[in-house]
Amino acid sequence: VREFYSGKCDRGVSLRRREELSSPTRGGHVEAEAWYVTYFNFTVVNVIEEFLYADAKNCPLLRESAMKFILKNSMEVINSDSFENVLMTKTITKEIMLAVAAEGQGKDDIGKIDLSINDLRMALYEKGLDVDGSRELLTSRIEK
């Protein structure tokens, strides 16, 4: 984690597999998520699956990255077959709709704080605090 967030990562390290995101090892989970998001290629076909997976496995960086892709490609995603899966989950549907509405009003912020997940994690790392958890948990640690 230290190497990734300090920018001293060895780019030759192989990409972590998706299964590692559900690893119970806290530091390993954050590192695997960061690598996965760095090298994963979102498409209209896979973004909803990744968003739902990120929600289920508490991967805020993956969730944030998927949301950014959804916002940039909202009409294509909404018209895709995979979007039906989102409509089954009220809270996620509402979150996406709020993000699309905020984007339409010129607001970049998806969460309650202006920092991205990476920025939150870097700030927590610099303070010597735990860098794993949801956006809300990371934000609460920063605000203390």
The pLDDT tens digits of the residues spanning 68-121 come to 999 899 889 889 888 887 777 777 788 877 787 777 665 554 444 467 888 888
Query: Are the beta carbons of 16 and 59 closer than 8 angstroms?
Result: no
Helices (H) and strands (E) in the chain, counts: 9, 0
Q: Is 144's pLDDT higher than 90? A: no
- pTM beyond cutoff 0.75: no
Give every CB contact of residue 76 below 8 A, 6+ residues apart in sequence: 44
Give me the long-range contacts of 134-139 (CB less than 8 A, separation at least 24).
134/58, 134/60, 135/60, 135/64, 135/111, 136/111, 136/112, 138/60, 139/111, 139/112, 139/113, 139/115
Higher pLDDT, 48 or 31: 48
The pLDDT value recorded for residue 21 is 57
Higher pLDDT, 10 or 100: 100
The pLDDT value recorded for residue 73 is 92
